[in-house]
Amino acid sequence: MVWGLTVMILVYSLGHISGAHFNPAVSIALATCNRFSWKHVPAYISAQVLGSTVASGTLGLIFSGKQDHFVGTVPAGPDMESFAIEFVITFYLMFVISGVATDNRAIGELAGLIIGATILVNVFVGGPISGASMNPARSLGPAIVSNQYKGIWIYMVSPVLGAVSGAWVYNMVRFTDNQNCLLPQKCREFLINHN
């Protein structure tokens, strides 16, 4: 519950400043759909990884002894199992983000709540399998601080692929009555006539 609530709080408190980009996979996915400028991507990713590393280092300074443990993500089973679950849950997260934060028909005031709830569900589903990272920076920061890189490639690759796929699939199913819609004209006419 902490992960979902934390993201919800951060979306509401920082969304108007940075667009609530806490995840390199989300920033890259939005850039591939022309919903975020590519020129800002390197700076955002640098800030995201730096934030994760500083946060992990801070936890290392605060906790010691029995309370000091690795706060990163590692596969609980086979690498491909974690790769698959990270892809699926990040796809789902990005699909939801695209729906509530990039579609002007959505109720924007609920975006933080819905995104936080999505992360909560994803943690329930993927946590026991992969640690439910969904975020390369979230996995890389603790790995750097603890010098533990087991399975790190999964968390660098799978969330990015999942997020890009989720954003593109949402953009394919997004229905609008303008000519920028990705649906063929016949499909748009059918949907307009049956709504």
Tell me the C-alpha distance between 52 and 89, whole Å.
20
- What Rg do the C-alpha atoms of the chain give, in angstroms? 18
How far is C-alpha 181 from the geometric centre of its chain's CA atoms?
Answer: 25
pTM (2 decimals)? 0.86
Cα separations in angstroms, 95 against 61, 76, 149: 37, 26, 28
Structural domain spans, the chain: 2-193
Superfamily the domain 2-193 falls into = Glycerol uptake facilitator protein. (1.20.1080.10)
Kindly state the DSSP code that residue 182 receives in the 8-state scheme: S
Residue type, 119: I
Burial of 13 (0-12, 13-18, 19+ CB in 10 A): exposed
For residue 192, give both structure tokens: 């307009």
How far is C-alpha 2 from the geometric centre of its chain's CA atoms?
Answer: 16
Q: Return per-residue pLDDT of the chain as tens, 195 residues.
A: 888 899 999 899 988 888 888 999 999 999 999 999 999 999 999 999 999 999 999 998 898 777 778 888 999 999 999 999 999 999 999 999 999 988 877 777 888 999 999 999 999 999 999 999 999 999 999 999 999 999 999 999 999 999 999 999 998 888 655 544 444 555 545 555 544
Helix (H/G/I), strand (E/B), else coil: 68: coil
